[in-house]
Every structure is written in structure tokens, then in C-alpha cells.
Amino acid sequence: MAEFDLIARIAAQSGRRADVALGIGDDGAVLDVPAGQQLVAVCDTLNVGVHFAADADAADIGWKALAVNLSDLAAMGATPAWALMSLSLPQADADFVAGLMQGFGQLAAASGIALVGGDTTRGPLAVGITALGFVPVGRALTRSGAQVGDAVFVSGTLGDAAAALRLGSGDTAPAQLQRMQQRLHRPVPRTALGLALCGQAHAVIDVSDGLLADLGHVAHASGVGIVLDAAALPASEALRSVADPAFRLRCQASGGDDYELAFTLPESRIDAVRTALAGSDVTLTRIGRVVENGGVRLHDADGGVIELGGAGWQHFVEPTA
């Protein structure tokens, strides 16, 4: 299959939006940005052997490649609009591209995002997505606004994806592990929560590299410290059923791949956020507080500091055991 045949297959599943004046087929896309809105741009790449296995399901790869970018848009309080895809393939594989676009298209349709361009090339398998969204002028959420006295919250549950990665996979896995594998392969970006946090949260970040590592970015950018209550970290029933407490805590605190939102705000504002999310299945859990300094510290029930020996994932750094 030739390159332009692949591009035609991708274009057929690109989605449509009225604000795309010119999409796939030219040297560039022409897009209409609404008045009073700023453009938010995010970019993430998934590489074989790092972010997914060589035998991973193509549809799962397509879904996750978009999902991790939509999670970043959510952390900025942005409404998704457009995406560009950079696709590297060892060879032109029509079946793989069909599966990839099936998964990508399912999430794109649910999110209202259209694929408007990109690039295809021969090389090691990798999928890079640039996603673009809108936020009202001056309303973008950031990592740098946390204030002393804020409560720290997180959405959903933590640790399922990391536990699934460590415990193995396969269709014969117990039902609990299969549910956790779904969290690993098909994370659900918290777009509605990101929109609800606009005007309410002081600082927001998506939990991709591990809760401690990501909240460390918030603490550094905001010039504050964050104290977390280990017992308060939310866990799914599936994780509780298969993991001992020490393993569960490591997955929750430093495992990564959760794609939940962690945020700080005055506790008096959380009811307004919950009201804005009424009717959704998103849960919000208070897990800590913002203090004057000291980085991010995880405390046990007696107030002692828990040392886990690693805060989360870092590229170019060998992981600890």
C-alpha cells in the first residue's frame, strides 16, 4: 500500500467540524478560531516498546494516543477542537491503520474533535498527536496558581493502570484485572471536569507520570508544598481485590497512566464543581492540602512521611524496582 492510500484511509475517518475551512489534502489546514477564545495546543507521542507493546491492539493504541492529549487539554480547561497525527510505520499496514483509526475515531466522535492533518513516514512504530482546543481569553487553567490553604482533590481512582501493567494481561485474566487493563488501554479524559474547574481551581494537572511526580510540578510551579494523606488516595474495588496495601499505594502514588485530574482550590468551592458535574459518573476525592513549602510529602495516618523510593515515571531515567 502506498503512502497516499494510507492517508486516504485516515482522511475517511477524520471527522467533520464547521470550523475546519480546509482539512486533510493540502500542505496545511485552515481553521477558524472563535472570537474571544484562545488556542490551547498540546502534543504527546506513543512509542512501541515504551508506551505500548509490539502486539498491542491497534484500536487501543489509536484511542490512547488521542486520550492522553485530551487529558492535557482537560487540565488546561479547554474544549477539544482539532487534532493532527504523525504516524510512523515499519511498513504500510492497511489492517493496522484501520484498527488505529477505529479506536481514534471512537474517542474523537465522543469528544467532538476532528483530525485535520498530519504526516506519515516509514520508521519504528510511533503515533504522535497534536491536539488543539479553545479556552476563553484569560481563563486557561495552569499548574502555577496553588495557594497555601487550598485543598487538594483528585478525580476518579488511582493505580489501576499501573497495577495492570505490572500484573500482566490477556483474555484469561480475572475480571478484576481486565477492568484495570481497560483503564490502562482506554483511559477516559476528564474533559467535563476541566471545564467545570475553570474559574474555581487555582491549579490543575493531569496525572500521567504518577501522582507524586505530577503534583511535584504543581508545587514547584506554584512555590508551595503539598501534603497528601495516603489513606485518602482513592482506589477501585478491582485494585483493592488484587493488590496488597503496599503494592496498591505504590501504584496509586507513583504508578502513572491514570489520566485523572489533580487540582487545588479553596474547599468552599468544591460544591460548585460537583454541581457542574451533576449527572456524570466522575467522583472527586479530597487527598491533601497545600502548605507553605517542602515539596510533596505523603503522610501515613500518624502524620509520618512515607518514602516510596521514586515519585513516578521519567523518560531517559532507568526506573527503580
Strand, helix or coil for residue 95 = helix
CATH number listed for the domain at residues 151-299: 3.90.650.10
Sequence-separated (6 or more) residues with CB below 8 Å from residue 135: 37, 38, 40, 76, 77, 78, 79, 198
The span from the CA of 263 to the CA of 153, in Å, is 5
Instruction: Give residue 3's pLDDT.
Output: 65
pLDDT in tens, the chain (321 residues): 566 667 777 777 777 888 999 988 888 999 999 999 999 999 999 999 888 888 899 999 999 999 999 999 999 999 999 999 999 999 988 899 999 999 999 999 999 999 999 999 999 999 999 999 999 999 999 999 999 999 999 999 999 999 998 887 655 568 889 899 999 999 999 999 999 999 999 999 999 999 999 999 999 999 999 999 999 999 999 999 989 999 999 999 999 999 999 999 999 999 999 999 998 999 999 999 999 988 999 999 988 999 886 655 444 445 444
Residues in the chain: 321
Global pTM exceeds 0.75: yes
Which of the 8 DSSP states describes residue 113? -
Domain boundaries, the chain: 3-136, 151-299
CA distance readout (Å), 252 to 19, 217, 234: 40, 17, 8
DSSP state of 279: T
- β-partners of residue 41 are 132
* Three-state secondary structure call for residue 71: helix
What are 133's three cell numbers? 482546543
Residue-level pLDDT at 169 = 60
Q: Is 140 exposed, middle or buried (0-12, 13-18, 19+ CB in 10 A)?
A: middle
Termini Cα distance of the chain = 43
Tell which CATH architecture fits domain 3-136: 2-Layer Sandwich (3.30)
- Residue 247 has what pLDDT? 94
Q: And the C-alpha cell for 245?
A: 496495601
Assess contact for 29 and 23: CB atoms under 8 A.
yes
User: Which pairing describes strands 30-31 and 37-47: parallel, antiparallel, or unpaired?
Assistant: unpaired
* Dist CA 250 CA 254 (whole Å): 6
Take residue 204 and report the three cell numbers written for it: 490543575
Q: Given this chain, do its domains 3-136 and 151-299 carry the same CATH topology?
A: no
Q: Where are the beta strands (DSSP E) in the chain?
A: 20-22, 30-31, 37-47, 79-89, 114-122, 126-136, 151-155, 203-207, 225-229, 260-265, 284-291, 296-299
Bridge partners of 261, per DSSP, are 206
